[in-house]
Chain A
């Protein structure tokens, strides 16, 4: 009978214990036990019930898990109960477990699994039922932990009585235990729990271990933990919310070694060293916290000010976290986690402090962090007096941040580019996304203004100074970052400045820089910078030689570890010679250029500001020495009155050449370097005509030939040059169809070995003459074998004719833009004659007297010698003195027939043309002045 009762009770107890032990009598109880355990999801349950009484059951060799006890093996479990309470409140009086073995398993993700218990079978802790027993004791229970690599062993013992409380101790140590990337070594955990009868709880524990995570190794980690609270009685009866208490945590990790930490593989060590001021190989961390728990809100605060958290690197840089006033470091509750602390970084070039307030609610972050960097010095970045005020919040993978940045940027190294002395203030908006691993930075004020900046590329000896700078958003943003596989940043903006100085080697440009719209990509790992930009406007002077302005073009700049390349396309650039009296007028260039290292090559097309194409050119420049050369060639350049004009192309020709037409071709070569500019040119003239040269020559036309110059400034010919010209019109003196050989040695003089023109049947020319090009010049024209008959035909006065040959010299003096003949003379070579039977003769004949005589002689005055003197301005009056010695017809009382005469004609001709105009004879007012020289 008792057996059956026992069986019922035990059955009930078993159901109560876990619904597992309900068969009576030991073998049946064991079987029932095993049945219940497997039904509760335990795997391969083993259990033998060795004692089963009304108020006690003893189970021995209970094991769960594959191949007998790999999970749980408890050698002996004794439970005492009052069977009535068991039935009604499912409470047993006492459970004593031990000795035995609990074998836990940690899988790769770090989840702790008890082999044999199917995962997920337990509920989560909050809705755990109240403890089903009044007393519990665990004695001599061994704990074994299997990890993917290594494991831990320990023991657990506990003694608990609902009435008087109890205590528990857990002690686990392990040589090596690795899971989820964490690898603990030489670790030991000790944990003591005391429950006093008044409900107080006191907990203390220590954890010592070495820890390696993704290559970072922290050895001799020591964490101490002490806490007291109450009331365990409430908790045991399921009312966890009422638990409250406070405690203290002491953590220290004296030597942390991050040398081969995975994190630093992605950042090249040089970048790391540059940014963080030396490779941080490791450090030490130490800190203490006070913990307070009440109505399920945990507050973590720094212990007294001296025991905050500090991290010291091997470079001596110390990061210290401390409280913000009395605000706790961390407040954790079911709904949120709120952190608030101050931090200070100091040592080896860093001096910064700031505060962080962060909220983590439903998976979303919100952080506010004003940071004041008094000084930060590292090879890569140097700041002085910089203020960063950042506030960001994350919703899911999206992060939005507002950043206020007042930076005393002293130096920033990006790859081999150094930017320094760039204080600026900016307000930015950052939108980032964790999934796409990218961020966009937008300048809230559209433009970022800074007083000045200076950038230097040391290896390329390339430097830029900018003043009054503005960097504006382009396409709505200023920069884009992404940290997918290649960490890269793209800065895009519109850069403009009031004033700039730019230099590569000795090639320098100063003035108002063009506005640059640019996209700059910087790939940190490959250390490659690539900038693509458009340039517009600007007005800069290159090496005090050329003013370049109103640019419209684009460029591509690439910089990698070893070299720099620049490719530029200039659609339009106004180029003017610097200085107030330029040799060449402004021209418009359309060019392509590329710079490889320090050598530049360029090709260009030049046209006038109104678009008349002039020619094309190519050239090179050694940026380092600022020396280079260019060859400019032009074909079929045609001069037209309203179009291209020599004196418009080169203002120095103003007053020398004007109103040109005809075509010209040729090539100009310029070379420049530290010791100045040299130039040379070859010009081909094709039927050019122009007013000049100089005001003295009204017009030169039909100018043909090639001229080679060895210098343009001042003009210097390559020795003697020969050209032909149709007409040199010097008003009263017109030279026609001549060939001129000249030489301009470059000392402001012109040498004319020979210039010859056919002239009235003979020749008139310049031979071995030299004249000044600027001051007064005297050029003797020598006339040979001039035929008097052709002169008279040219003069074409009715009734005037003659013949004879003359030689002479006409010295032409060019002064102050005027030309005059000074002491010109002709002498007859051999006899000749002059005959005039024109209207003047008839008038004189009518008047009779001397006039009649004079003109009678003149009817056929044959001379055996004749001389003519000429003086006067070529653009004004000419004065001829003609002396004849010969014979003339006379019809007088005392003389008849041919008599010897000395005949002088003074001809003051306002204009030679007047001589030839048909109406000359009609309106010809001949004042014949007569003087009677009485010989007797």
Chain B
């Protein structure tokens, strides 16, 4: 079955995450690992995912009376913990660390 565009995109991102080109950041958004080169297409997908995350964080924040920053950071904690071996994540201090 052909991949629907959205999941096809996430496959692209998933692959990049597993190859430590892209990683989860402490601020709740995807980031490009410093030094990794990224295709335009992947860059667009990351931007798109981050925008959708921002909308999701904003809705969650409004429902819970907290700042978007907080919902983003709390989600980040879970995402960082969920990172699988071989993936890279960016800690609070902004350093990229390989899991």
Contact = CB atoms under 8 A, between A and B. Distances in A.
Interface of A: 580-581, 647-648, 651-652, 654-656, 658-659, 691-692, 694-695, 698-699, 731, 817, 873, 875-877, 910-911, 913-914, 917
Q: Which of B5, B45, B47, B52 has the most CB of A within 10 A?
A: B47
B47 A695 contact: yes
B81 interface: no
B39 A580 contact: yes
A581 B40 contact: yes
Given A698-B58, A911-B67, 10 more contacts: A654-B47, A654-B51, A655-B48, A655-B50, A658-B52, A731-B68, A817-B29, A875-B54, A876-B67, A910-B70
Given A580-B39, A581-B39, A654-B45, A875 B69 contact: yes
Given A731-B68, A875-B68, A911-B67, A658 B44 contact: no
Nearest to A875: B68
22 contacts: A580-B40, A581-B41, A581-B44, A652-B44, A654-B44, A654-B45, A654-B51, A655-B48, A658-B55, A691-B51, A691-B55, A694-B51, A695-B54, A698-B55, A698-B58, A699-B55, A875-B57, A875-B58, A875-B67, A875-B68, A876-B69, A913-B65
B66 interface: yes
Contacts of B70: 876, 910
Contacts of A911: 65-67
A691 B68 CA distance: 15
A817 B50 contact: yes
A655 B51 contact: yes
B5 to A, nearest CB: 7
A817 B51 CA distance: 8
A731 B59 CA distance: 11
A61 B16 CA distance: 124
Given A580-B41, A692-B51, A695-B51, A877 B5 contact: no
Contacts of B29: 695, 817
Contacts of B50: 655, 695, 817
B48 A654 contact: yes
Contacts of A647: 48
Q: Which of B29, B41, B51 has the most CB of A within 10 A?
A: B51
Given A651-B44, A654-B44, A655-B47, A817 B66 contact: no
Interface of B is mostly: helix
A914 B55 CA distance: 20
A691 B48 CA distance: 11
A655 B44 contact: yes
Interface of B: 5, 29, 39-41, 44-48, 50-52, 54-55, 57-58, 65-70, 72
A698 B54 contact: yes
Nearest to B62: A913
A694 B48 CA distance: 9
Contacts of A698: 54-55, 58, 68
Contacts of A910: 66-67, 70
A729 to B, nearest CB: 9
A917 B51 contact: no
Contacts of A648: 5
B1 to A, nearest CB: 15
A651 B6 CA distance: 12
B4 to A, nearest CB: 11
A280 B23 CA distance: 81
A911 B58 CA distance: 12
Nearest to A817: B50
Q: Which of B29, B66, B67 has the most CB of A within 10 A?
A: B67
Contacts of A699: 55
Nearest to B55: A691
Nearest to B41: A581
B26 to A, nearest CB: 13
Contacts of B72: 875
B61 to A, nearest CB: 8
Contacts of B46: 655
Contacts of B66: 910-911
Nearest to B31: A816
Contacts of B54: 691, 695, 698, 817, 875
Contacts of B57: 875
B51 A914 contact: no
Nearest to B53: A695
A654 B69 CA distance: 22
Contacts of A694: 51
Contacts of B48: 647, 654-655, 658
Nearest to B69: A876
Contacts of A873: 69
Contacts of B68: 698, 731, 875-876
Nearest to A655: B47
What 7 pairs between A and B have smallest CB-CB spacing?
A655-B47, A876-B69, A581-B40, A654-B48, A875-B68, A654-B44, A695-B54
Q: Which of B57, B66, B68, B70 has the most CB of A within 10 A?
A: B68
A659 B55 contact: yes
B45 A917 contact: no
B35 to A, nearest CB: 17
Contacts of A914: 65
A875 B59 CA distance: 12
B78 to A, nearest CB: 19
Nearest to B57: A875
A877 B68 CA distance: 10
Contacts of B44: 581, 651-652, 654-655
Contacts of B51: 654-656, 658, 691-692, 694-695, 817
Contacts of A581: 39-41, 44
B29 to A, nearest CB: 7
A654 B50 CA distance: 10
A311 B20 CA distance: 83
Contacts of A875: 54, 57-58, 67-69, 72
Nearest to A694: B51
Contacts of B41: 580-581, 651
B96 to A, nearest CB: 15
Contacts of A691: 51-52, 54-55
Contacts of B39: 580-581
A410 B32 CA distance: 57
A731 to B, nearest CB: 6
Contacts of A655: 44, 46-48, 50-51
Contacts of A659: 55
Nearest to B44: A654
B57 to A, nearest CB: 8
Contacts of B45: 654
A695 B27 CA distance: 13
A914 B67 CA distance: 10
Contacts of A652: 44
A491 B41 CA distance: 47
A612 to B, nearest CB: 14
A713 to B, nearest CB: 13
A651 B9 CA distance: 11
B31 to A, nearest CB: 9
Nearest to A648: B5
A4 to B, nearest CB: 123
A812 to B, nearest CB: 16
Nearest to B29: A817
Given A691-B51, A731-B58, A817-B54, A877 B65 contact: no
A692 to B, nearest CB: 6
B58 A877 contact: no
A593 to B, nearest CB: 29
A580 B12 CA distance: 13
A695 B68 CA distance: 12
B11 to A, nearest CB: 15
A817 B55 CA distance: 12
Nearest to B46: A655
A877 B69 contact: yes
Contacts of A651: 41, 44
Nearest to B68: A875
Contacts of B69: 873, 875-877
